[in-house]
Structure 1
Amino acid sequence: MTEELHKLGEVLRAARESRGVDLARVERDTKIRTRYLSALESGEYRDLPGPVYTKGFLRNYAHYLGLDPEYLTDLYRLETNGAAVSAVASPPRPMRARRARALVVTPGTIAAAILTVGVAAFIGYLGYEFVTFARTPDLRVIEPAGNVAGYRLSEYTITGVTEPNSRITVDGLRENPVITADAQGHFSVIVKLVPGSNVITLIASDPLTQRESAKVTRTIIVDVGATPTPGRGVLAITSPRNGASLTGIAQVTGTAAAGTQVTVDARLATPAAPNFSATDGLGQTVSVRTPPAGKRVDARVTAGPDGTFAASLALAPGSWDLTVSGGGSAKPVARRLVIRAAPSLTGTLQIAGSPSYVELLQDNVPASSVSGRVVKPPKVVSLKASGSIMVRAGNAGAVSLTINGVSMGAMGGPGEVVTWRILLTR
Structure 2
Amino acid sequence: MIGIGNLLRQAREAKKLSLADVEKEIKIRSRYLEALEAEEFDVLPGNVYMFGFLRSYASFLGLDANDLVAKLRKHLQQDEEDAEDMKTRAPVYPPTTVSVGKKIKLLAVGLAVCLVIAYVVIYFMNQPVPQVVDPSLGQPAEETVQEQDTEDSIEATVEEPVFDGMELVLMVSNDPGSRCWVEVRADGETVFSGILEAGASQTFQAEERFWVKAGNAGVLSVNYNGEEFSDIGRVGEVVVLEFPPDNEL
Please give the TM-score of this superposition, normalised by the length of structure 1.
0.25
Larger radius of gyration: 2
Please give the TM-score of this superposition, normalised by the length of structure 2.
0.41
RCO greater where, 1 or 2, for CA within 8 Å and sep 6 or more? 2
Pick the structure with more strand per residue: 1
Pick the structure with more helix per residue: 2
